[in-house]
Structure 1
Amino acid sequence: MSMEDPFFVSLTASGIVEANPGKFRLGEHELQERRDFVVQTQKSVQLMKEQLSSPSAVAQAEKKNKQALLGATAKDRFAGLEPHLVSANSRYIQEQQEQQQLIMQDQDEQLELVTGSIRVLKDMSSKIGDELDEQAVMLSEFNEEMDQTSSRMDSVLKKMEKVSHMTSSRRQWCAIGVLVIILIVVLILFFAI
């Protein structure tokens, strides 16, 4: 058998399928049907080759070709195939179509779930953006208040520095004297009442 022979390709493919039937989701019964189909087809092809080599077969082939060109129906083309092989192939095709349909339905459901998740994430990101905008406004207001407080503290610290830097002793004694007088007045008022 050469690689150009269609049965070589068919047997190679069958060998791959038989080696790993789980991957192709085929049962033992379907594998056997396919093996039988390949063997039956090989026999039919061999018989056809033998028949085609005879002169009467050439004349008969020309006659059939003329009939085919003049309007043979689709039923005539498949008349040579055994009915159970046709039904097995039809069943296989139908199963594959059903599996494809199920896969498409599953993918549609998964797409709907992903779409829902994306919507939720979009809503959450919008809310987070709004919250960040509010926080930015609050931080700006807080920064302004801090600037005002800082300027007030600077002025108070400067005044405190002036008071603490009275270098002349006369000023210090004057300040102490004024404070003592104020203390005496407060005590008199407190006990007088």
Structure 2
Amino acid sequence: MMSSTADTDPFIQFQNELANLLESARTSFSSYLRIRALHAPTAAPSPELLSAQAELITLLDEISTDLSDLHATVRQMEADPYKFGLDVPEVVRRRRFVDEVEGEVGDMREELNSTSSPSSRQNAGAIATATTDDRRDEESSGWNGYEMQYQQEIMHDQDEMLEGVSRTVVNLREQANVMNRELEEQTEMLGALDGDVDRVEHKLKKGVRDLNTFIRKNEDTASSCCIAILIVVLIFLLFLVVVL
């Protein structure tokens, strides 16, 4: 699998933080529903209800901001997964996570807006805005650090890849040099062998000429037998010379 591990992938770390934030929003949402159920619909919103609304709005706004950043990152991953060291199933999983969180946040907002009066939402929103702005500044710096870390990891992976390619090229060059030297040595050996063959061929021709001369000088039968024996012995000796 090409995806990064949780220890080194900033997206996974940011995803875990967002999951924790979503869990806090779920707890806050449950608390808000409980307080709202105890509150009379026609009565003015109590400070406790406004505080629960403000806390929930703050968490939902914070999650929405993070989701916007994650959306942009996932779109880049979908455009070129392999640039980020990911495979397609991992990118699909990340897109599903973002969509599911976005859907759950949307459901919470819809429930919050459907039962809150405009005045209570305005009061809760005013309380939440101050808190959200402070958290947003912190998250903005954190996200910028995340982006920088991601880019640094990509550059580091590319540097390692280029270094590996460079080592491979050097190894191939060394192998080519070794093969070239071996070919030169084999060429020299073949040249020496050709010289030996030429010398043996010259000796054979000279030996045959000498035998022919000897045969012509000794035409009788006994001499012919001796000559034949000598020819066989000479051929055998020449064969030994060639082999050795």
TM-score tier, shorter chain, comes to 0.3 to 0.5
Q: Which structure: larger Rg?
A: 1
| Structure with more contact order per residue of length (Cα contacts < 8 Å, sep ≥ 6) | 2
TM-score normalised to structure 2 length: 0.37
